[in-house]
Structure 1
Amino acid sequence: MATMTHDTAVQRRLRSGLICAVVSASSFGLSGPLARGLMNAGWSAASVVAVRVLVAAVVLVPIALIQLRGDWQLLRRNASLIAVYGLVAVAGTQLAYFNAVSYMPVGVALLIEFTAPIAVVGWLWLRHDQRPTGATVAGAMLGITGLVLVIDLRSGLSASWVGMAWALATVVGAAAYFILSAHGDGTLPGTVLAAGGLLIGGLGLLAAGAAGIVPLHATTNPVVFQDFTTSWWLPVLLLGVVTAALSYVTGIAASRLLGSRLASFTGLLEVLAALTFAWALLGETPHPIQLLGGALILTGVIAVRRGETTTD
């Protein structure tokens, strides 16, 4: 009876975690097409991200304050975690990505960034002696192969050493996102971690813009998508509430329920979601090879899930 209860609890935890992971990846995937619309209207990439994370912080901070219930000691005990999460997982990853794409094709930079699950596996193996199973390794190979097919690399593989260094920094930031999201003493609510990290990350991006590290400029021009035109504030609101606030909260929940390894591989679905939203909003029809890549990503995630289940 105890074994059956344990198995049921594990399955329920996996199911809830996968739902959160899919919601997070899908929400993150919407950010690219929405951001492209704003950038076509005259916004800089850094401005889009800074506004996105700060709007999310405004949405989440009141909820975080309610969850804290005045327990400022809890906030102080986790101050370093929140600060590192905001500066590395949020702001650092974005800054590294912006600099990477200034030296190399976008597709190449994305491909390098989304090898982060392999970095997560390596970290857990070396640091915590969590050796990956055969199913996890096979799923990783399928997922990365699918990623290569989904991401458009027709612009070429040429890149400078400086660009490669920035791209590798995005891998560190993305891996840190999953590892730190799963971290904590069990008492820090995920919303508090997300709100604090987004606020610190957004302020960090504004500081980087003020220092001239990234360009910050925005307009109030109408934003044009495939079948409609809208005011600038609607994409900004969606970016902040859906693609940041919702994405980070559900992403933290997924990492805590699934563990950083499985959550990071499920995060590959973000690329598939971005492809779908780009098709709907920007008219960028996917090629058959990209659809095959999406199928391989899904197969890889399922394989990793089976591998993680066998370790419970």
Structure 2
Amino acid sequence: MTTPVPGLTAGSSQVTAGIALGLAASLAFGTSGVFATPLFEAGWTPGAAVFWRVLIAAVALLPFSLWQLRGRFGLLRTQWRPVLGFGVLSVAVSQLCYFAAVDRMDVGIALLLEYLAPVALVLLAWVRTRRPPVPLVLAGVVVSVIGLLCVLDLAGATPDPLGVLFAFGAMVGAASYFVIAARPSPLPPLALPGLGLAVGAVLLGLACLIGILPYAAPLVEVSLLGTHLPWWLPLGVVGLVAGALAYSLGVAGIARMGERLSSFVSLSEVLFAVLLAALLLHQVPSAVQLTGGVLVVAGVVLIRLAANRDEPAVPALTATLPDAEPEPAQP
């Protein structure tokens, strides 16, 4: 049974293992935008890219999920809500919005907007609990918002409004990912990501089938690293590395770190993605945008410091949610 260990109150070995898993997950997630961009340039739509990414990841993980659930399928009767929420919000909404944003703006900028999720979690917890955060948290929110304005670089460029909107949709999905994965659950480790990805794949497939999501996936060579590669190579990286591997490592890390610390560690995805985009796609942010990125990270660091110094003043959102339903008795 997998039970989350709250932030810094957990044993040091658990937290250390969680941080290592979180960093590995961030590196895996960070490859998604870089390897999806050549597909977009070859004529793939965001809907097609995210559908195949989630489907490949689900096919890779589902056998392991079912194997871990053997003899305990009754758990799904009580745990269907987190599985459904993970599949709809954490997978379908977040990935579709992220890919749609990347189709309209640089990878690093889209990620920086998405990873305002820790700020959103603090504000949402404030609304739900009616307990205001400490001044250090408010300072972090202000710094992050200033950083956001710099990331948009309103003076130096005209941001794509639809791209910004999609990036904020990805932020909502990312926030749900941390909240759902951090809740205590009797599900085995790979059940939540495996089943959640399967739910997301079904929803995205239906959306493509009925025309809600524009679908185009020309099976042509793509340009990457100065050479031409078959389409299935970047798609395989997006599905297996940025999909199956990333979600598995990420959920395992969150279960050991908790919602707050994991949302901070996940910011490393921005750094990995920016570095990969600069190396492979030559997408280098402007000086103002780089400054904004530093401010966004600094603001979230302030929020994390306040959460660790004064736990009651910055309640975790998971603490305001009902406890997970108990595991049914085994015959």
Fold match (TM-score > 0.5): yes
Matched with 1:183 is: 183
Q: Which amino acid aligns with 2:67?
A: I
What residue in structure 1 maps to residue 232 of structure 2?
233
Which residue of structure 2 aligns with residue 11 of structure 1? 12
Q: Is the 8 A contact 1:272 1:294 kept in 2?
A: no
Shift in CA distance, 133/259, structure 1 to aligned 2, threshold 3 Å: farther
Higher relative helix content: 1
CA RMSD, aligned part only?
3.3
Q: Distance in 1 between matches of 2:269 and 2:153?
A: 15
Q: How many angstroms apart in 2 are the aligned matches of 1:217 and 1:239?
A: 17
Q: Is 1:281 the counterpart of 2:280 in the alignment?
A: yes
- Tell me the CA shift for residue 175 of structure 1: 1.7
Match of 2:44 in 1: 43
Q: Does 1:214 align with 2:219?
A: no
Which digits, 9 at most, give the CA deviation of each residue in 1:121-172, with x for residues without a partner? 1233444577645555545555555555456665425748xx8876654443
Q: Secondary structure at the match of 1:190?
A: coil
In structure 2, the CA distance between the partners of 1:85 and 1:212, relative to structure 1 (3 Å rule), is same
What SS is found at the alignment partner of 1:229? strand
Q: Structure 2: how far apart are the matches of 1:268 and 1:148?
A: 18
**What does residue 158 of structure 2 align with?**
156
Trace 1:113-262 onto structure 2 (pairs within 5 A). Answer: 113-127=114-128, 132-143=133-144, 145-146=146-147, 148-150=149-151, 154-157=156-159, 159=161, 169-185=169-185, 187-262=186-261
Give the Cα separation in 1 of the matches to 2:270 and 2:169.
Answer: 19
Distance in 2, Cα, partners of 1:101 & 1:259: 28
* Deviation of 1:46 (Å): 0.9
C-alpha displacement of 1:192: 0.8
* Unpaired segments ≥5 residues, structure 2: 1-7, 312-331
Change (3 A) 1:247 1:309: same
Given that residues 112 and 293 in structure 2 are in contact (C-alpha distance below 8 angstroms), is that contact kept between their aligned partners in structure 1? no
Superposed, which structure 2 residues align to 1:91-102 within 5 Å?
Answer: 91-96=92-97
Question: Which stretches in structure 1 are left out of the alignment for 5+ residues?
Answer: 1-6
- Following TM superposition, by how much is the alpha carbon of 1:67 offset from its aligned partner in structure 2, in angstroms? 1.8
Give the number of aligned pairs.
Answer: 301
Partners of 1:37 and 1:266 in 2: CA distance = 28
Distance 2:29 2:129 in 1: 29
For 1:134 and 1:34, locate their aligned partners in 2 and report how far apart those are by CA, in whole Å.
41
For 1:259 and 1:80, the matched residues in 2 are separated by: 19
Distance across 2 between alignment mates of 1:198 and 1:152: 35
Deviation of 1:54 after TM superposition, in Å, equals 0.8
C-alpha offsets along residues 211-253 of structure 1, whole Å, 9 cap, x if unaligned?
A: 2111112122112113333211111111111101122122222
Distance 1:38 1:158 in 2: 20
**In 1, Cα distance between equivalents of 2:277 and 2:101:** 22
User: SS where residue 226 of structure 2 aligns?
Assistant: coil
